[in-house]
Amino acid sequence: MHDTVYQKQEKILHFLEEEESCFMFLLLLHMGRPAMAMTFNYADALEKSFLFLEAQRSGKLPANQRVKWRGDSGLSDGSSAGVDLIGGYYDAGDNVKFGLPMAFTITMLSWSVIEYGSQIDAVGQLQYCMDAIKWGTDYFIKAHPEPYLLFGEIGDGDSDHNCWQRPEDMTTSREAYAVTQENPGSDLAAETAAAMAAASIAFRKMDPVYSNELLRHARELFTFADTYRGKYDISIPLVKKYYQSQSGYYDELLWGAIWLHEATMEESYLEYVANNAEQMGGTGWTMNQFSWENKYVGVQIKATKLLLDGKTGQYAPIFEKYRAKAEYFLCAALQKNKGPQIQLTPGGMYWIFRWNNMQYVTTAAFLLTVSHDYYSAAGQQLSYCSSPVENSELLVAGKAQVDYLLGKNNRGQSYLVGFGTNYPQRVHHRAASIVSFKQNPQFVSCRGGYEEWYVMKERNPNVLVGAVVGGPDQNDDFVDDRAAYEMTEPTTYNTAPLVGVLARLQSMMEEATITTTSTVQNPGVQFVSSYCCWIFPLLFSNFTYWVLWRTFNIAMFN
């Protein structure tokens, strides 16, 4: 029986990991395709991602704002509560500031810096990434003025969705909603604690004073979340239609604790993750997704890293259970789970849900990528799949999802706005779909925006560069229509997990280029040439592939 393309990819990367001199060179080829591969400029995609985050800023915009068609907005936020709540991010295509998805965005950006800060810096984007994190954490500091008070929403989703206005023109409610001791929100507070703890690690070397301030808030927020337990969408009922916490708050409590352990290295937080593993579902739930709403897989993978690194001490048996659950997700992503697999569309995209499915694609790509690095650094492999797994399979799977998003799909469609030549033009986004007030300062009314701008068939007047839209359906079909919000609305939490993966892939491609160049210039390359040349045809039974590879090899090395 002939190997599948996916099996061929696995064999290639397994060989490449063992034969480092050939590894990066062959990785430049598009695995499973003849001749030279479709490759992407991941650095360009990364740069564009930060532009999208700038477009989502609320508040007084800084002098170095690069997205010029946006302006100041939400300058009275917090006034209804007597607190300065100016700043932060709009979550998606509307003008509301929702705390839970915003906090998850900052956690993921910070995690990207922690794991791939040097790679982000290598392409000149680290300062933009730190600025993006700080735009969020500065807001969270304001939103947490007292130990047991956290503002979790600014604006009213109902009134906001009834209007189609630029943020600069907003006439909708800017009411501030908070969780307190009497009306708690453990999920909101614990996720914000995770964001502050992760950001404190990211800022530790660059700004230790700021890092310590973030860590203080993280500690207080976690204590608040754990001491006064309750779902935030009960305390803030308006949020339920938009960001309901369906998984409850146990996942966020474990998530906050494990991030605080990493930020402080204090035994008490490790003990919390271990002692509450079963009760809070950390070693009970098996998941096929990781998102702003459900953190279990994130907890399980971070717990697995502690186990792989030998840092769990007496709790190792409990953390082995975390590992089993983490690998359930990873094996399912590789289509090698002993239980259900993560569903794939015909074109190979992970499919979880019809509304904004791309959020699950980017988080899965991130987890697959960091898991590859965690297991490889520890010299270990996945042990709970239905068949043996090479670590390289994790990287292949993560890269495949990113490449699909960037345009390697049946439509040749990029789902990152502004990337490539074929990307969504009618993004479901108020600010992008209405002419900039700098070009036309005429006021756009609540309903007037719908009547003139929402319904227009033309492309948006402002290109929302870097936005990752909701993406195609389970059949890889996509409708570029402003009204098709399930497909065309972008979110900050689609983009944040992508940051680290893009930096990692760009670094890998650059290393491949260097390796290829040095190999060509090395007189000893004939050995590598012949070795690579006989192994490649063995993996690809198609004679045409062999001829193309041999032709390319002769051209390169003779």
Task: Count CB atoms within 10 A of the CB of residue 68.
Answer: 11
Q: How far is CA 61 from the centre of its chain?
A: 24
**d(C-alpha 95, C-alpha 369), whole Å:** 33
Question: 3-class secondary structure for 94-129?
Answer: CCCEEHHHHHHHHHHHHHHHHHHHHHHHHCCCHHHH
**d(C-alpha 142, C-alpha 365), whole Å:** 32
**d(C-alpha 405, C-alpha 349), whole Å:** 8
**d(C-alpha 345, C-alpha 337), whole Å:** 17
**d(C-alpha 263, C-alpha 222), whole Å:** 13
Taken as a whole, the chain contains a residue count of: 558
Asked if 493 contacts 242 with a C-beta cutoff of 8 angstroms, the reply is: no
**d(C-alpha 19, C-alpha 337), whole Å:** 28
Show Cβ contacts of residue 359 under 8 Å, excluding neighbours closer than 6 positions: 291, 292, 470, 491, 493, 494
| Both tokens assigned to 252 | 């966020």
| Both tokens assigned to 448 | 């007037």
428 is catalytic: yes
Q: Using alpha carbons only, what angle is made at residue 183 by residues 180 and 185, rounded to the nearest 5 degrees?
A: 75
What is residue 346's three-state secondary structure?
coil
**d(C-alpha 325, C-alpha 347), whole Å:** 27
**d(C-alpha 257, C-alpha 222), whole Å:** 7
Task: Count CB atoms within 10 A of the CB of residue 193.
Answer: 34
Asked if 317 contacts 377 with a C-beta cutoff of 8 angstroms, the reply is: no
CA-atom Rg of the chain in angstroms: 24
Instruction: Give me the catalytic one of 217, 261, 428, 429.
Output: 428
Q: Which residues pair with 154 in a beta bridge?
A: 97, 176
Q: Could you list the active site residues? A: 428
